[in-house]
Amino acid sequence: MKRIPIIVLLSALVFCSLGSVSDANRRSRRARAVAAPSGKVEIHCPTPLNDITDCMLLDPDTGCGSLDPNLNEQKNIRSKDGASEAMTLQNLKDLPDPVPGFEIGDDRQSLKDLGEGKKITVMAHALIARKGGKESCNCGLSQPKDTDNHIVLVEEETLALTQGATPARPATATRRFVRARTARENTLDVRERKSVTAEFTPRVRLDHPRLVRVKLQSLIEATQKKALLVRVTGLLMFDSEHSLGRHLIRVNNWEIHPVLKMESCPTGETCTETSNNWVDLEN
């Protein structure tokens, strides 16, 4: 009869011990978050990390590597309840670039005051869905299922911009070799300068597995103009990292990131912001 309380006591000790280990691990991760010379934070990435679920177990919000934790937390939001606010692509283009005075790691309240984190729905034409690369928000993982996808969005009038093919240029003593480029490549370049970015993320794909680049790109390729009319619902986000450093070809650094839902207009039909004939990418 005396064995029962002993077993209970031992179980309680084990439970407390496991809890202490878990707390210690969390404290250890925080302890490893040290400032980097760039102003970013360095969080060690253990190996192996097999996929995005391992990354989320390590840290559900920020990922690891050299990072801005406040930016990564915004990138890694997985869902948001409630209705979305209708916006136009021009609304996003008109948003100010708040970089003067903003630094890596800063509190993002000033960005939230401009709308960051707001759930929005935008109608636009998708020109291309690009493969993602390694990012600290995704723990440096590189498999397609574990990376973001960069989607180029433009307004209908931008489709009027075209560019012809260009021939290759041989190398000279003062100039490097330039490869030949097709009309489609050059046209995409001039259109992308008028674009806004949207991004699929691996965390959202855990709940919406068909929000994938391959499916979207196949729909783009099937259109006559290589531009798919889409209705995108997601969160407004300012990409402060690219604004402060590696600049991308686009109008500004406001994005729809993450995308929570994407719908396309069926071939031969007319769709509006509020029509009910849109087809969900997940169907």
- Residue by residue, pLDDT tens for the chain (283 residues) are 444 444 343 344 333 333 433 333 443 343 345 555 567 899 999 988 999 999 999 888 999 999 999 999 999 999 999 999 999 999 999 999 887 778 888 999 999 999 999 999 999 999 999 999 999 999 999 999 999 999 999 999 999 999 999 999 999 999 999 999 999 999 999 999 999 999 999 999 999 999 999 999 999 999 999 999 999 999 999 999 888 877 889 999 999 999 999 999 999 999 999 999 999 999 8
Residue with the two structure tokens 């075209």: 162
DSSP-derived 3-state class of residue 97: coil
Residue 180 is classified by DSSP as -
Beta bridge partners of 262: 232
117 backbone φψ class: left, alpha, beta (φ>0; ψ -120 to 50): left
Length of the chain, please? Answer: 283
Which amino acid is located at 133 in the chain?
G
Contact 62, 137 (CB under 8 A): yes
Beta bridge partners of 130: 150
Contact 144, 213 (CB under 8 A): yes
* This prediction's pTM: 0.85
Say how far apart CA 162 and CA 40 lie, in whole Å: 40
Q: CA separation (Å) from 103 to 54, 110, 159, 172, 256?
A: 30, 12, 36, 42, 21
DSSP-derived 3-state class of residue 282: coil
Angle at 250 between CA 248 and CA 256, to 5 degrees: 95
Say how far apart CA 83 and CA 121 lie, in whole Å: 9
- Residue 201: which of 129, 145, 282 has the closest Cα? 145
Say how far apart CA 141 and CA 52 lie, in whole Å: 8
Fold of 80-280: OB fold (Dihydrolipoamide Acetyltransferase, E2P) (2.40.50)
